[in-house]
Each structure stands twice: as structure tokens, then as C-alpha cells.
């Protein structure tokens, strides 16, 4: 710890210049700059400049490892030892219609795996898990550490906001990245995600790393680089980590928007729901079961026979929510229709996500309110044949003043052609430390 009044061992301007000229920052320099920023010695403008230099010039694996370690060291570390069951975590890099956490956590809980899911809120075109769940009357995201452990012990899974003491340096740095155009960079994404996940103290971690128009990293090559980086960071820290590369070029499922996605997740938990949501839920569940040592357990029956839905009800109730309460329903709805005949070539996930955001389902700045009823129902998928006038989307919101901008985003979200497109696999690859 830096003594009060002692001279600082480094000058942040020198570090910015080093990285600006594609130099490598030493381990002690990285540890200092993260700690000094957290202490308020390094100004936000200086850290922003350093972050931009990292975005432009990149970081080597050792630098990324040091940055992750410095973020972890800025706060507390949790431990789930003593639960009597393996604790396996999951993280998604975010996508349009990605409600997988909602059915996945109770599914694993029903099968005997503890899932400490510390989630976040949405920003821009990607939805946040906490925003979705807060559409359920009474449900609470903010739990004390003691409450989190209690829910985890009693239910087997918990979905809540991360406490302020977990990697606080990352929280402060992300706030800068969000307003300075420095989010989409592999070193910064990897260190941000893994600092929190390693600090959580789970026994294993499964990553859902997305690519495509609706992802932060559109190219599959970028997603693979990110996945490999995070898996290596996990291995370096002793956290067993596996990543799946999943396609986010089209929205996941049909429902986009908070309450809309909760309804769809409940349908999956009741043995129904869209095939792609079920497929990805089961794919991630199998990876998590494998990390838990439950190699021969098939998760599919627990969705069909009601066990996962029962665990969902217990989870929602344990966090103050009413699983039987009606979810918000939008006052205004309107259909977007096809202008001519054709076969759906693609449904642009980003355009749909931006449309839902403009309708009120998302936020432009942290702290903005969201309209839990707002969103988009996707009525077609690639390969579907449509005729002129057929509905492509149903848009939903409470504020009629938002309709025009939402509709504007969706007007060109569907591409039509004359030949059916080649089907694309939802899971495009797997990265492990083996």
C-alpha cells in the first residue's frame, strides 16, 4: 500500500506514452496504475487516454494477465467452499434476446449444481439480465453477501448484482470505457470479465462468447481470440474455464425486451419455448455439468418434467419476487410487415436490438429507467418464406413517442431473397484449456 504523502513510483504520462508507441507495460507499472486510479491519484482523463492507447496498440498475454490480477487485487474475493455442491458460474458476452441465464440457473440448481450468477444491467442494444428479472413484481437484484449465500444454499442458484467490493477498479474503468468508445477491445473485455469471475471464487466457469451483428465483436476470429484469452486467464488463476462460440447474427429466440424475455424463459422452463433457446441452454448446461464432474447427467429431462421450473419459482420467491404475478404488458403494439414476397435471408440482430432499445427496453446511459413492457417479437427467422404484407415483427411500448424511431430501426432488419440460405450452426466452436 502506498504511504500517505510518499512520492508515486511511476508517472502515468510515461505509461501512456509507452503504450501509445506500442511498448509493453511492466507488471509493476500495471499494478501501480490500476491501484493509483482506484485511489484517485490517476485522473479519469489520464486513464481514458491509457485505455484508448490499449485499444489501438493492444496488449500481450502477460500484460492482460497483470491487468486482470490488478483489478482482482483492488477488491474482495468470495468463496463458495462449504456449500456441499460444486459452484459453477456462467458468463455471456451479451446479445440480442439472450435470456439464457434465466432458464439455465434453475436448471443447474435442479440438477445439484450451485450457480452463483452475478449479473449486470443492459446498455445500448444488448439487454441486461437484471433488467429482465426486475420486470417481475417484488424481485430484488441487490442482495447482501449474506443474502446471496442464503439463497444459494436454499435454492441452489442465485441471480443478483455484484457487490461494490468485487473488482471495484473494473467498475470504475468500465464507466470510462463506456463513454470513451473503448469497450470493444479484447484485452479490456477479457480482463474486465475475468477479474470479476475469478474474484467470485467459483469452481468452474463456462463462457458464452458471441459473434455476429448483435455482438460486441462481430467477427468469429475476434470472438475466438477473446475466448482463448479468457480461458487462458482462467487457467492461469486455477479457475477451470471453457468457452463456447455462439452465433449472434440473428436474435436469440423470438422475444426481445425485458418482460417479453421472461415469458419466453418461463416457456422454456415448462418444456416449450423456441428451439434455439432450448439448444443453447442445454449446450451450456452440459458444459457446466462436465466442470462439476457430473459427466453422465443429461439436463434435458429436467426441463421437460418440471424440476427446472420448480427451481425457478423457488429462486424468484427467495429474492422477493412473485412468480405468479402478471408481467407488464405494453399499451401500444404495431406490426412491421414485409413489403414484397421472398425467403428470409437474415434477421439483423443489431437492428432488432437497437429497435428494442429505442422503444424503451434499453438505456443510453447507466441509471436511465427502462420500460419493462417494451420490446420486439421476432415473427420470422432465416429460411422462412413470406408474402407481401406478412408480419415480420410486433413492436411493443408504452410511449407512443418512441414508436417511430423503433420502427425506423426495424424497417431494414429483415433481408429477403429468392433462395433459402444455408443454415448456420448456433454453436460454432469450443475453446478449453486442454
> Which positions are catalytic?
91, 170, 177, 192, 196
> Contact at 8 Å (CB) between 186 and 194?
no
> Which DSSP symbol is given to 342?
E
What is the phi/psi pair of residue 339, to 5°? Answer: -85, -20
Query: Please, is 401 exposed, middle or buried when counting C-beta atoms within 10 Å of its C-beta (0-12, 13-18, 19+)?
Result: exposed
Q: Give me 185's grid cell.
A: 477491445
Query: Please, is 164 exposed, middle or buried when counting C-beta atoms within 10 Å of its C-beta (0-12, 13-18, 19+)?
Result: exposed
Q: How far is CA 213 from the centre of its chain?
A: 15
> Which DSSP symbol is given to 249?
S
* Most distant CA atoms of the chain, gap in Å: 74
**CA pair distance 128, 214, nearest whole angstrom:** 14
CA distances from 132 to 46, 56, 114, 331, 372 (A): 35, 34, 21, 18, 7
Place of cell 492507447: 53
Q: In 3D, which of 199, 176, 160 has the Cα closest to residue 71?
A: 199
> Contact at 8 Å (CB) between 209 and 245?
yes
> Contact at 8 Å (CB) between 214 and 106?
no
> Contact at 8 Å (CB) between 278 and 266?
no
**CA pair distance 70, 128, nearest whole angstrom:** 26
In terms of residues, how long is the chain? 434
Amino acid at each position: 500500500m502506498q504511504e500517505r504523502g510518499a512520492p508515486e513510483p511511476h508517472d502515468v504520462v510515461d505509461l501512456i506514452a509507452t503504450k501509445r508507441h506500442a511498448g509493453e507495460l511492466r507488471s509493476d507499472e500495471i499494478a501501480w496504475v490500476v491501484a493509483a486510479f482506484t485511489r484517485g491519484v490517476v485522473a479519469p482523463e489520464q486513464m481514458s487516454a491509457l485505455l484508448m492507447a490499449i485499444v489501438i496498440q493492444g496488449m500481450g498475454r502477460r500484460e492482460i494477465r497483470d491487468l486482470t490480477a490488478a483489478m482482482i487485487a483492488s477488491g474482495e474475493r468470495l468463496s463458495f467452499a462449504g456449500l456441499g455442491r460444486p459452484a459453477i458460474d456462467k458468463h455471456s458476452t451479451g446479445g440480442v434476446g439472450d435470456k439464457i441465464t434465466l432458464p439455465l440457473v434453475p436448471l443447474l440448481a435442479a440438477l445439484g449444481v450451485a450457480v452463483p450468477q452475478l449479473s449486470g444491467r443492459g446498455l445500448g442494444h444488448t439487454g441486461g439480465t437484471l433488467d429482465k428479472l426486475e420486470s417481475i413484481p417484488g424481485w430484488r437484484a441487490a442482495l447482501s453477501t449474506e443474502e446471496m449465500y442464503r439463497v444459494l444454499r436454499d435454492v441452489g442458484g442465485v441471480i443478483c448484482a455484484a457487490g461494490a467490493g468485487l473488482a471495484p477498479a473494473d467498475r470504475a474503468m468500465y464507466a470510462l470505457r463506456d463513454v470513451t468508445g473503448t469497450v470493444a477491445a479484447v484485452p479490456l473485455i477479457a480482463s474486465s470479465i475475468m477479474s470479476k469471475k475469478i474474484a467470485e471464487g467459483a469452481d468452474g466457469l463456462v463462457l458464452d462468447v458471441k459473434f455476429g451483428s448483435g455482438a460486441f465483436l462481430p467477427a468469429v476470429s475476434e470472438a475466438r481470440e477473446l475466448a482463448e484469452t479468457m480461458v487462458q486467464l482462467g487457467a492461469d488463476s486455477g479457475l477451470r474455464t471453457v468457452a463456447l462460440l455462439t452465433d449472434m447474427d440473428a436474435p436469440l429466440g423470438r422475444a426481445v425486451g425485458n418482460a417479453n424475455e421472461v415469458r419466453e424463459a418461463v416457456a422454456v422452463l415448462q418444456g416449450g419455448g423456441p428451439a434455439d433457446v432450448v439448444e443453447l441452454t442445454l449446450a451450456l448446461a452440459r458444459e457446466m455439468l462436465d466442470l462439476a464432474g457430473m459427466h453422465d447427467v443429461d439436463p434435458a429431462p429436467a426441463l421437460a418434467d418440471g424440476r427446472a421450473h420448480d427451481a425457478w419459482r423457488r429462486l424468484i420467491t427467495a429474492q422477493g419476487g412473485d412468480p405468479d404475478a402478471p408481467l407488464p404488458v405494453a399499451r401500444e403494439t404495431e406490426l412491421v410487415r414485409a413489403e414484397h414476397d421472398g425467403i428470409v435471408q437474415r434477421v439483423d440482430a443489431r437492428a432488432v436490438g437497437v429497435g428494442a432499445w429505442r422503444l424503451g427496453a434499453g438505456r443510453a446511459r447507466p441509471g436511465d429507467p427502462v420500460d419493462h413492457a417494451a420490446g420486439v417479437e421476432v415473427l420470422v427467422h432465416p429460411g422462412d418464406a413470406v408474402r407481401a404484407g406478412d408480419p415480420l415483427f410486433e413492436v411493443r411500448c408504452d410511449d407512443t413517442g418512441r414508436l417511430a424511431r423503433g420502427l425506423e430501426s426495424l424497417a431494414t432488419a429483415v433481408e429477403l431473397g429468392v433462395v433459402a440460405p444455408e443454415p448456420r450452426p448456433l454453436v460454432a466452436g469450443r475453446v478449453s484449456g486442454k
